[in-house]
Amino acid sequence: MLAKDEHYMDRALLLAARGRGRTSPNPLVGAVVVSPDGVVVGQGFHERAGEPHAEVYALNMAGARARGSTLYCTLEPCCHVGRTQPCVARIVDAGIVRVVAAVEDPNPVVCGKGFEYLRGRGVGVDVGVGAARALILNQPFFTLVRERRPFVILKAATSLDGCIAQVPGRPTRLTSAAANRHAHRVRAEIDAIGVGVGTIVADDPLLTARGAYRERPLTRVIFDRRLRTPARARVLSTRDAGPVIIVTTEEAARRDDSRRALEECGAEIEIAAGASVRAALERLGARHIDSLLLEGGAMLHAAAWDEGLVDFVRLYVTPHVLGPGGVPFLDGRTFSSAGLVDAHVEPLGTDVLMEGYVHGPH
């Protein structure tokens, strides 16, 4: 039975992944309905926030064949009324006799209550099949619910000798075309890109996803404690791609001239309760941003690292050597890719992608 459960859960997890880049702030969820004789009679995945959940798609496909069947789902079925009706009632009404779920939903309005509802109405419930993969699949969702902040991916391109730029404040192009394509594909899936104001001043980047299809608007975040972002910054000319949020302090926001000029250019000013990176991230969490690609610069990377807020590291290591005058990754702090959890290494043209969790999935 366990081997069969794992087989069908694998299928549900593959379905869930098809919603990447489209469901936030909702989780990625897949569901499969299997008849008593082992035939898949229905399947589906959550496609977009506000649209039917995975279980509904699977049950609709199964129709009358759902009666007496087992439902496999990658997350605990919901039991509350939100933008859609609760899935647990649909499951019971369809005649499902057993539910196999990968993990419990951490959302306090669900968090075991969905399982309790099903068991109370005679539906068998088993939890834990495929749990590790399901947890990794929804790291941003779990982080947002549990820590009230986005899942933070620290992204950097480094030289072979561990530097991110030739000299401070000067843009240094390191990555190959293959690595650049990969980076833009990643941008197409996450909720937001974050940079420090120093990167805006030095590089004047667009911060858009280019060469990769993106269905939802991409939020761009500028961490700017003193509100130094120039009103002429190029990113402010790309608001058709998504909102631009400048996170600053209350003191800086009181400078009416600077704030007014930026707001007139379309920037949204977000005031953090303090100067820490965590305070800024909590403001983003309040906006339901569940994943943040932290692209630089060196000071912002180091600050997030020091506060223990980096969840995942993605490094594009290039064959360039910048020498002793280069700007070291993480400002010279101790870092070893060998210490990453569930590390992944992949060649990208002349570069090498090295990535993994800092402390493991949570």
Domains and CATH numbers, the chain: 2-137 (3.40.140.10), 149-357 (3.40.430.10)
Which position among 55, 76, 189, 355 bears the catalytic label? 55
| Interacting residues of 120 by C-beta distance below 8 A, sequence separation 6+ | none
Reading the block at residue 189, the tokens are 């899936």
| Rg (the chain; Cα; Å) | 23
| This prediction's pTM | 0.92
C-beta atoms surrounding 147 within 10 Å: 16
Q: pLDDT 10s per residue in the chain (362 long)?
A: 678 999 999 999 999 999 998 999 999 999 999 999 999 999 999 999 888 999 999 999 999 999 999 999 999 999 876 666 789 999 999 999 999 999 999 998 889 899 999 999 999 999 999 999 999 999 999 999 999 999 999 999 999 999 999 888 777 889 999 999 999 998 888 999 999 999 999 999 999 988 878 888 999 999 999 999 999 999 999 999 999 999 999 999 987 788 999 999 999 999 999 889 999 999 999 999 999 999 988 899 999 999 999 999 999 999 999 999 899 999 888 888 888 999 999 999 999 999 999 988 87
| Residue 184 burial class via C-beta count within 10 angstroms: exposed 0-12, middle 13-18, buried 19 and up | middle
* Residue 165, beta-bridge partner list: 327
Is 55 among the catalytic positions?
Answer: yes
Helix (H, G, I), strand (E, B) or coil at 308: coil
Closest C-alpha to 291, from 305, 301, 300, 281? 281
Q: Which residue has the tokens 């980076």?
A: 183
Strand partners, 313: 154, 356
What does the alpha-carbon distance between residue 127 and residue 199 come to, in Å, rounded to a whole number?
45
**Residue 144, both tokens:** 């947002």
3-state secondary structure 47-96: CCCCCCCHHHHHHHHHHHHHCCCEEEECCCCCCCCCCCCCHHHHHHHHCC
